[in-house]
Structure 1
Amino acid sequence: DQDTAEVAHIKRMGKKLTWTKLLWAPDDDLESVFTTDEDSQYNPKHRFGENNQPFNRIQGALRDVHAVIGESYRNDEEFTGWVLDTVWEGMRLQRAQIGHRLRHNAAMFDQTTHAFNRARADGQFRELIGERKDENGNPYFDSYRVSLIHDDYDMDEDELNPSTIFLNPYLFTVNLQVHALVTRGVASTESMKEGTARAKARSNERNWNLCKTTPGMIAASAVCLRWLFSPDPELTPTGAVTNIDWNEEFERYLEYLGKRTRSVKNIFKTWDAKFYPRAERSGTPPSGSTVALAQASHAAALRALEEEEEEEAATRAPREGTNGGGGGGDEQDGAGN
């Protein structure tokens, strides 16, 4: 039998992995991640490629696991045995805790618990969590045109505005956001809301030694906030009522947050300023067509980031060209003399 302290430590790391890196493993298959060897040919830029290769997604997830689980626990027999089982249990418990805390603290989101749960179960928030209609009037859930995860976003706009995504006050403001509720606990969130001192009780933030915002935190917050307002009873990879593939939504958000554009950098800067100022200073089963629409939304969001990158490059180009031209002129003058 394993030492009780070791088991408790690995279970705690499984909980940390859930909120900071992987809300679920790819395809909810943690065993495939643990039984895979690191491949030196893996390129993180291809983790979420156009072909969506399982190999790349699993390799990326394996590195997330290694970032949390110490090297001393990675020999094959331990890692694929009791460590895998204990991490899986820690992740399961953490998701259950997330669901319980969010659904039983509706006041944090300006809602009364009874009225909120009744409205949620009746599907009154479906538009809020991204339900839209295709050209034939069939409902589907969009990944990005979701007012709940944007800051003051006009949902009637045709183009996605990268400067508002993942900045809804519900996600990060001191009294109305998912991240603080989960990592700092209800009492501490209330103290932040009132502007008083942070709660001194042990919390996940202290247990996990959190000091900087990760892509997983933001992606998990966005998914959990949408799930909170959904009629789905449990936080599972696929919604029992909406049939939203929450795991896929999580990975889409991870891919988006992996870009290094100005707006994405601003997302992390804003979150760090709220939570880690030291870091700153340092339903209906979807048809094939509705699945395609959700994928098209994701592609459009990535294109918006690409356009932003192109604009940034164009802004730099004249300045770089001027410097280069000046240097070339000096060389020509020197050659002519």
Structure 2
Amino acid sequence: MPSNASSPLQEPNFSGSIDMNSTPRTLRKIAYGFQLDANDIRAENNELKRKLADLENQQAGSKKKNSGATEETDEEQDRNELVKNLAHKSVLMCWLWLRMGAKTFSEQVDPEYSPLDRFDNTKGKVQGELSDLLELLPPQLQSAECMASSWLRRQFIEEMGVQRSNTAYRLRRQCGPSIFNCSAQDLALAIQRDKLFRERNGWLESAGSEGDGSGEYSTWDVALLHDDTYQGKFDRKSIFLNPILLRIFAALVRGPSAVEAMLAGLPVVAKGETMATKLGLTRTTAGAIAGCAVLARWVVSPDGTLQSKGLISSINYQKLFDTYLKYLLTGLDTKKATVNKIFQVWDQAIFPATADTGLGAGCAGSNAEQDEAEAEVFADLADDETVE
């Protein structure tokens, strides 16, 4: 099964021993375990190399500035910082990947595109991403000249990669044990993740497999995506309400301390600058929920680096994201109560101060009841005597 991400540099560790009586099947299992851990170690090396290169580039840039060579103007610095923040915001709130990468910027807007047709085919999905991109970018970056410029495409795509890398590190190594209520060792090696979380991650063994390990991961029958009322099958009343998903979003936009606050039953409040305050995030989006659902499955998968398709698990994360996004957008568009509840729960947990402006607020039953009660109070007040 196939993907790739980051885990500690450790020796492969699993319960497999070889002797003269070892069967070919046992040998294959042990070899598979080594393969999983080797992939993790290789991914970790690549990640460290990337971070080292980033540091060296920053130092080189600093030296250039100090020497007065090709120093950026204030306007260029502001522009680059803006693009960086927009790219980071896109990964957190819109999509984990752009299916056409930098080519998305050169796509022409289809005047006949309708959001209702977004998931019909690849063209619709690309137009949907382009629509999201244009909504994200400020007017000064939407001109034909800007959209065609190599610097915008290059920087935006590079910064998306940086945010995915930061996301992977925070979720699997920094906050993972708290988010998933497990030990750091449980998430450290692919073989251990696969052993502990496979069933909760929706693994379905093939009928008649006779224990040979063949099977596939379900899209919807996944314990990690449902709350504790889950009974082994998709349930619209509990889908996307697993506290793990909320802790993932909190870790990404509010910081590690927010996860600890949630575990302690305390409100999530900003402490210093967080991605939420830096990027001006005030409500949950469908892309954020779909992204966190995909990230939850990736963190506990045997895959290494966060990619659109798992190199070990063969999970098509891009396809999962599209499917979850379609469900959420369809539910919002048709005003389905269970989908509105999802947004209400997320906003109340992550953005309590602005929860009443969230995407699910318009159909909140509890708000309607409060409005009715308030109307009765003021009607009663109107019946009171007037003082002469």
TM-score interval w.r.t. the shorter chain?
0.7 to 0.9
On the 8 A contact 2:268/2:350 being kept in 1, the answer is: no
Aligned to 2:338: 263
Q: CA deviation at 1:197?
A: 7.4
Residue among 141, 145, 151 paired with 2:217: 141
Aligned to 1:297: none
| Structure 1 CA distance for aligned equivalents of residues 268 and 240 of structure 2 | 26
Equivalent AA in structure 2 for residue 128 of structure 1: R
Aligned to 1:23: 96
Residue among 297, 300, 306 paired with 1:226: 297
| Structure 2 CA distance for aligned equivalents of residues 236 and 56 of structure 1 | 22
How many residues are aligned here?
A: 271
Question: In terms of mean alpha carbon deviation, does 102-111 or 58-67 score higher?
Answer: 102-111
Alignment of 1:233-252 (within 5 A): 233-252=304-323
Is 2:95 the counterpart of 1:13?
Answer: no
| Structure 1 CA distance for aligned equivalents of residues 268 and 97 of structure 2 | 33
Q: What CA deviation, in whole Å up to 9, does each residue of 1:121-156 have, x standing for no partner?
A: 454311111110243434011111000110124454
Q: CA deviation at 1:38?
A: 1.4
Aligned to 1:124: 196
| Structure 2 CA distance for aligned equivalents of residues 250 and 236 of structure 1 | 12
Aligned to 1:3: 76
Secondary structure class of the residue paired with 1:243: coil
Q: What CA deviation, in whole Å up to 9, does each residue of 1:26-84 have, x standing for no partner?
A: 2xx222321112122101011012xxx22111110001111211121122232232111
Alignment of 1:281-320 (within 5 A): 281-282=356-357
Residue among 184, 189, 192 paired with 2:254: 184
| Structure 2 CA distance for aligned equivalents of residues 94 and 25 of structure 1 | 13
| Structure 2 CA distance for aligned equivalents of residues 197 and 168 of structure 1 | 17
Alignment of 1:62-81 (within 5 A): 62-80=130-148, 81=150
After superposition, the Cα gap between the structure-2 partners of 1:227 and 1:41, relative to the gap in structure 1 and judged at 3 Å, is same
| Structure 1 CA distance for aligned equivalents of residues 80 and 320 of structure 2 | 31
Aligned to 2:350: 275
Structure 1 gaps of 5+ residues are 283-337
Aligned to 2:278: 207
Secondary structure class of the residue paired with 2:204: strand
Equivalent AA in structure 1 for residue 317 of structure 2: W
Secondary structure class of the residue paired with 2:95: coil
TM-score of the superposed pair, with normalisation by structure 1:
0.75
After superposition, the Cα gap between the structure-2 partners of 1:217 and 1:197, relative to the gap in structure 1 and judged at 3 Å, is closer
Alignment of 1:53-92 (within 5 A): 53-80=121-148, 81-92=150-161
On the 8 A contact 1:191/1:199 being kept in 2, the answer is: no
Q: What CA deviation, in whole Å up to 9, does each residue of 1:306-335 have, x standing for no partner?
A: xxxxxxxxxxxxxxxxxxxxxxxxxxxxxx
On the 8 A contact 2:303/2:311 being kept in 1, the answer is: yes
Aligned to 2:60: none
Equivalent AA in structure 1 for residue 326 of structure 2: E
Is 2:110 the counterpart of 1:39?
Answer: yes
Secondary structure class of the residue paired with 2:305: coil
After superposition, the Cα gap between the structure-2 partners of 1:268 and 1:143, relative to the gap in structure 1 and judged at 3 Å, is same
Is 2:242 the counterpart of 1:168?
Answer: yes
Q: CA deviation at 1:264?
A: 1.0
Q: What CA deviation, in whole Å up to 9, does each residue of 1:244-285 have, x standing for no partner?
A: 111111111100101232211111111111122344323xxx
| Structure 2 CA distance for aligned equivalents of residues 242 and 57 of structure 1 | 24
On the 8 A contact 1:191/1:197 being kept in 2, the answer is: yes
| Identity level (%) | 27
On the 8 A contact 1:102/1:228 being kept in 2, the answer is: yes
Secondary structure class of the residue paired with 1:98: helix
| Structure 2 CA distance for aligned equivalents of residues 267 and 74 of structure 1 | 33
Q: CA deviation at 1:185?
A: 1.2
Taking CA–CA contacts closer than 8 Å with sequence separation of 6 or more, which of the two structures ends up with the larger relative contact order?
2
After superposition, the Cα gap between the structure-2 partners of 1:234 and 1:140, relative to the gap in structure 1 and judged at 3 Å, is same
Secondary structure class of the residue paired with 1:124: helix
Q: CA deviation at 1:183?
A: 0.8
Equivalent AA in structure 2 for residue 70 of structure 1: P
Alignment of 1:150-165 (within 5 A): 150-157=226-233, 160-165=234-239
Q: CA deviation at 1:192?
A: 4.7
After superposition, the Cα gap between the structure-2 partners of 1:277 and 1:156, relative to the gap in structure 1 and judged at 3 Å, is closer
> What RMSD, in angstroms, separates the aligned Cα atoms of the two structures?
2.0
Equivalent AA in structure 2 for residue 150 of structure 1: H
Secondary structure class of the residue paired with 2:216: strand
After superposition, the Cα gap between the structure-2 partners of 1:256 and 1:79, relative to the gap in structure 1 and judged at 3 Å, is same
Equivalent AA in structure 1 for residue 346 of structure 2: W
TM-score of the superposed pair, with normalisation by structure 2:
0.66
Equivalent AA in structure 2 for residue 63 of structure 1: S
| Structure 1 CA distance for aligned equivalents of residues 324 and 159 of structure 2 | 23
Structure with greater Cα Rg: 2
